[in-house]
Structure formats: structure tokens, C-alpha cells
Amino acid sequence: MMRIVISFFLLLASVTSLADETPRRANIDPDVWFVASGGLWKKSDTEYGNFRVIVRNEGWEHTRSSLYLQWLKSDDQKQRIVVLKEMPVSEFNSGGWFNVLHIERRDSTFLISYLARGEDTNKNAELRPGLPGVYRFVVRK
């Protein structure tokens, strides 16, 4: 009898774990290479949230990175996070054939390490988001 009870619970646990994994599959773009989130923007007591930087690699043998900046808004009433605004980082995306190597967040600044096609030296830039729709992109020397 004890074996039957144990077998039943093991079977129930395995079915439950399979059921938990299946519906959580998100439709994530396979071109997404890096994502870095954090920092804080605040317009008022009811309008605030975080930043998210998304790097997409486009191409096949010779990929090229594109940067996108999102302002995420905290909706306390619905208890969820929504994308309030999304913008391409034009200064990076139209600057040449670049490949992002690494992104690191420090406070509300994102440090971006990248390589320009045909060059051997890594380059660095800072992406400093502000209120929704506002940012600064600075190439570090």
C-alpha cells in the first residue's frame, strides 16, 4: 500500500512539473543577444519605472548589433510592468558595423563594450537614459 501511495505522489509531481513548464514559454525574438535592466526613472509618485537595453544581432555569418532602449512603467494597480516607450539608439545603430561584446549597468548608466568591424580594439560607450524618450549616448575615449 505504501508503494502505491509513493508512486502516486511521484507521478503527480512529474505531471505537475511538466504542466508548469509548458505554458510559460514566451515568444522571445531569437535575434536578442543581450538584455540589461535596471536603473530608475521617476516623473511623479504614480509615474515611475526602470530601463531596459536590448541588443539584437542581425545577420548570419557577419552579424551586426542594434541597440534599443525601453522605459518600463510600474502599474501598481494592475500589479504588472508595461513597456511605456521603446526607441532605437540611433547614434549606435547608424554609426557603422558594430558588434556588442558586453553590457554592464551601473546605477542608471549602461556601459557598452563593442567592436567595430575591421578593427581590433574594443570601444566603449555609455548610455544614460532619463525620463521616457530622453537619453544620452556618449562614446568614451
- The residues, any chain, with a CB within 8 Å of residue 124's CB and separated by 6 or more, are 111, 112, 113, 114, 139, 140
Is residue 21 situated within a structural domain?
A: no
22, part of any domain: no
DSSP assignment letter at 7:
H
Give Cβ neighbours of residue 58 (< 8 Å, ≥ 6 apart).
31, 64, 65, 66
Residue 16 lies in a domain: no
Total structural domains within the chain: 1
Asked if the structure places residue 17 within a domain, the reply is no
- Cell reading at 98: 558594430
11 vs 19, 20, 21, 104, 119, CA distance in Å? 12, 14, 16, 43, 57
Q: What is the pLDDT along the chain (141 residues), one digit of tens a residue?
A: 656 545 544 444 554 444 455 566 678 888 899 899 999 999 998 899 999 999 999 888 788 999 999 999 988 888 899 999 999 999 999 988 899 999 999 988 999 999 988 888 899 999 999 999 999 999 987
pTM listed for this prediction: 0.77
With respect to residue 94, please indicate whether it lies within any of the assigned structural domains: yes
- Name the residue range of residue 66's domain: 30-140
